[in-house]
Structure 1
Amino acid sequence: MEQQKTETRSITAEQRKRVEEVCFRSLALIGRNCEYLEQHFDRTGADTSTRQAVADIDTAAIQLDRTLTEAITLLEFLHEDTKPQLYPIDLCELLQQVAAQSDMIRAQLGVDIRLDYGGCTTCCVMADRRDAELLCLHLLSNALHASREGGSVCIALRRTESGWQLTVTDDGCGLPGEDVQAALENRRSFLGGAQLGLLLCRECCRRMDWSLQLEPAPEKGTQAVVSIPLYTGESRPAGTVELRTGSETEQEQRKYHLRAMLVREMRTMPERGDPEDEF
């Protein structure tokens, strides 16, 4: 009897997919209407308050789209019975594709991205590429959310005795801690977020047998430290799914895929300005 109740209360994959389709279709409609209204205002004119109201609706829809996507991905991960199949990937290549968007980030947010390999040219690790991309994207996104205009984010990769250490460091608001001002600045930087990004990062690490630690940066800000086990195979093994295909076309596709994901993330960033004006 209890089993029947559980089955009745559970939602099937098909039902969940229909819910997702309805939600994303509605969000897309909101986005298209906001775009139409902005174009209409450009032709006919509108007061500042009306324009700001439409912009606020568009921003809220983008944030909701992001939160819904994160929640769906997180639920998929949590409901999977087995971990994904891991293959060797070149982490240096993936980070290069992320850092390739530095000009766009600097132009839009005024934040510099610095990539530091510590002299490494390749870094082969066992990973699921989708999970590794999500992890890098969300760690960078969190760092950008915390940073102010004129700030910087450093993505560093170092070899350790037991593996590799990936560190994403920002000079932004820092962890909330006990400092009231830092807590206020942290809340302002991540205003409206459901804080699913960090959960998703931890889940990506768990699935790949990596680990994630957040800690204060040495001077100011926060650093996310990802510990990655050492790959014991050859430096660039042949015949694997991830490393066999390295054509320029695929690399460009991956770069533009990451760019599209990052553009979407940047549209959820808070407006830059003097933090003193916001309290």
Structure 2
Amino acid sequence: MITGKHLSLSRRLLIGLVIVSFAYWAVVIVLSIRDNADELNELYDIHLSHSALALLRVTSPNANQPVAGDGTAGSPTVDQIFDQWPDLPKRTSTPAVPSDVTGPPAKAFVVSKNVEYGKRLIYQAWRNDGHLLYRSVNAPNWAMTDQLGFSDTLDANNQGWRHYSIWDRKHQVHVIVSEPHKVRSQQVNSITLNSISPIALGLPILIWLLWFSIKRGLIPLKTLSQEIASRKPDSLTLLDESKTPKEIRPIVLALNHLLQRMAQALESERRFTDNAAHELRTPLAAIQAQLSAVKVAQTETERLLAIGQLQFGIEKSIRLVGQMLTLARLDPEQSLPDAAPLDMGDVTQATCAELAPLTLPRDQTIELSVEPHLPPLVGNADMLAILLRNLLDNAIRYTPSGGHINIDVCRTPAGLQLTVSDDGPGIPAEQRERVFERFYRLAKQEQPGTGLGLAICRRIAQLHDAQIVLTEGPGKRGVSAIVTFALSSSHSHTADECH
């Protein structure tokens, strides 16, 4: 069983259009039938009044040749009376009411050509003393209504009748003309049938035309789906949006944007893999060579020296793999995970306490300055710790023995600012941007490294919508790494300059 959720788009459109079409035509038919019924009732009422006026003309004592009638069943019908008076339409064709007749104004009289309808009309002509002058064959011997003008009654068979009665001006002759309600009902039913029949007969054609139009209209969508389905997994070519309809274009643009992001991600992964393979090849080869040196060592001194070199190579490889895994975890385009309000001062103090023992063998001094009452920063505490650990580790390794390392956390007009400064050899201005590239290292660098630390720092800063730049250190010595985090407007307006 196919539920509404699993219906195809073409079926949903077809069902919706059929329902709307049915509703529209139903309203049109109902309104049309109502208007036609009102018009039909008005025309029948006019016919009744005209027939009564004509009979009153024929029966009037002022007429030249009145029709004789004795009230017997042999009295003529309305049509027979009209046939006996060929000039009657001419005599009653003016819209004005004759001077000897009372009643509502009547329009021009037209003789009915509907034989069946003429047979269903019944009439009576009464004298003012209650004597029945004449009546139609199917009319009763008693007055069909005692009301003037239009009226409705029910007979003994519970059949409805519509009457029109009128007196002449001298109140001598009273004419009543009646017709059954079923005559009008039959005409209304006939109109209804005639209105519904074309729609009912044309319904299959309408549904087929709707289905055909929907199928034709959805061809671009089908073509697009076939193009996507036929693509190879490694094909990231953008879709041609110029040939797609306006309604489908947002989908195509979104897919193209996704393909671009996938292409960038795959290209980044490819470059990372190539660089990682290149960078791992050297330390692994060194480890293999040092292992061979251990095997062929002749003296204990040579063996211990080879083991020391082997240990150093393994530690370098471990560091390289750890940095690569960290960068790989941060590299894909993603939002900041597990973000929460945190105190940057606390994160900085914890990281400094963790790395402080590394400065002891080098007799280095670390100065930490954290501005009190810092506003909270929304971020990931673990990632910010990695960022600060990389910056501080670089400062420790490149600062000479007895050197100084300064760490400041404060507010500025631009936001919350973290600064790590050292008095090491520094970085030339033209290379300060390149050192953020993966595996890039300055020439003639004596300190061991992987060239990934600053790349990791920049990626973490990007995830926190922060900016990281390298400038010249205090006293024009060393390097200052400045990370600026944006704060909400409620905190930034109270910011002061860092010391």
- TM class, shorter-length: 0.5 to 0.7
TM-score (norm 2): 0.36
Say which SS state the counterpart of residue 110 (structure 1) adopts. coil
Say which SS state the counterpart of residue 204 (structure 1) adopts. helix
Given that residues 374 and 410 in structure 2 are in contact (C-alpha distance below 8 angstroms), is that contact kept between their aligned partners in structure 1? no
Say which SS state the counterpart of residue 480 (structure 2) adopts. strand
Given that residues 164 and 230 in structure 1 are in contact (C-alpha distance below 8 angstroms), is that contact kept between their aligned partners in structure 2? yes
Q: Determine which of 86, 95, 98 is the counterpart of 2:348.
A: 95
Answer yes or no: is 1:205 the counterpart of 2:205. Answer: no
Q: Which residue in 2 is equivalent to 1:4?
A: 233
Given that residues 99 and 114 in structure 1 are in contact (C-alpha distance below 8 angstroms), is that contact kept between their aligned partners in structure 2? no
TM-score (norm 1): 0.61
Answer yes or no: is 1:152 the counterpart of 2:404. Answer: yes
Q: Determine which of 409, 420, 425 is the counterpart of 1:168.
A: 420
Aligned residues: 199
Amino acid at match of 2:485: I
Q: Which residue in 2 is equivalent to 1:110?
A: 363
In 2, Cα distance between equivalents of 1:76 and 1:103: 27
**Which structure is larger by alpha-carbon Rg, 1 or 2?**
2
Given that residues 391 and 420 in structure 2 are in contact (C-alpha distance below 8 angstroms), is that contact kept between their aligned partners in structure 1? yes
In 2, Cα distance between equivalents of 1:123 and 1:186: 41
Give 1:43-54 correspondences, 5 Å limit.
Answer: 46-47=300-301, 49-54=302-307
In 1, Cα distance between equivalents of 2:325 and 2:355: 29
Amino acid at match of 2:300: A
- Aligned-residue Cα RMSD (Å) equals 3.4
Say which SS state the counterpart of residue 75 (structure 1) adopts. helix
Given that residues 154 and 170 in structure 1 are in contact (C-alpha distance below 8 angstroms), is that contact kept between their aligned partners in structure 2? yes
In 2, Cα distance between equivalents of 1:189 and 1:110: 19
Query: Larger relative contact order (C-alpha < 8 A, sep ≥ 6)?
Result: 1
Given that residues 339 and 378 in structure 2 are in contact (C-alpha distance below 8 angstroms), is that contact kept between their aligned partners in structure 1? yes
In 2, Cα distance between equivalents of 1:57 and 1:228: 42
Inter-CA distance 126–103: structure 2 relative to 1 (3 Å threshold):
closer
Amino acid at match of 1:224: A
In 2, Cα distance between equivalents of 1:158 and 1:88: 17
Amino acid at match of 1:190: Q
Q: Which residue in 1 is equivalent to 2:331?
A: 78
Structure 1 residue 205 displacement after superposition? 0.3
In 2, Cα distance between equivalents of 1:105 and 1:61: 19
Inter-CA distance 223–140: structure 2 relative to 1 (3 Å threshold):
same
Q: Determine which of 184, 188, 201 is the counterpart of 2:445.
A: 188
Amino acid at match of 1:3: K
Inter-CA distance 185–50: structure 2 relative to 1 (3 Å threshold):
farther
Given that residues 404 and 422 in structure 2 are in contact (C-alpha distance below 8 angstroms), is that contact kept between their aligned partners in structure 1? yes
Inter-CA distance 178–75: structure 2 relative to 1 (3 Å threshold):
closer
In 2, Cα distance between equivalents of 1:51 and 1:123: 53
Say which SS state the counterpart of residue 108 (structure 1) adopts. coil
Given that residues 336 and 380 in structure 2 are in contact (C-alpha distance below 8 angstroms), is that contact kept between their aligned partners in structure 1? no
Given that residues 175 and 222 in structure 1 are in contact (C-alpha distance below 8 angstroms), is that contact kept between their aligned partners in structure 2? yes
Amino acid at match of 2:313: A
Amino acid at match of 1:46: E
Inter-CA distance 123–203: structure 2 relative to 1 (3 Å threshold):
same
In 2, Cα distance between equivalents of 1:96 and 1:213: 22
Q: Determine which of 208, 229, 232 is the counterpart of 2:486.
A: 229
Q: Which residue in 2 is equivalent to 1:214?
A: 470
Give 1:21-36 correspondences, 5 Å limit.
Answer: none
Answer yes or no: is 1:139 the counterpart of 2:391. Answer: yes
Inter-CA distance 3–152: structure 2 relative to 1 (3 Å threshold):
farther
Given that residues 89 and 125 in structure 1 are in contact (C-alpha distance below 8 angstroms), is that contact kept between their aligned partners in structure 2? yes
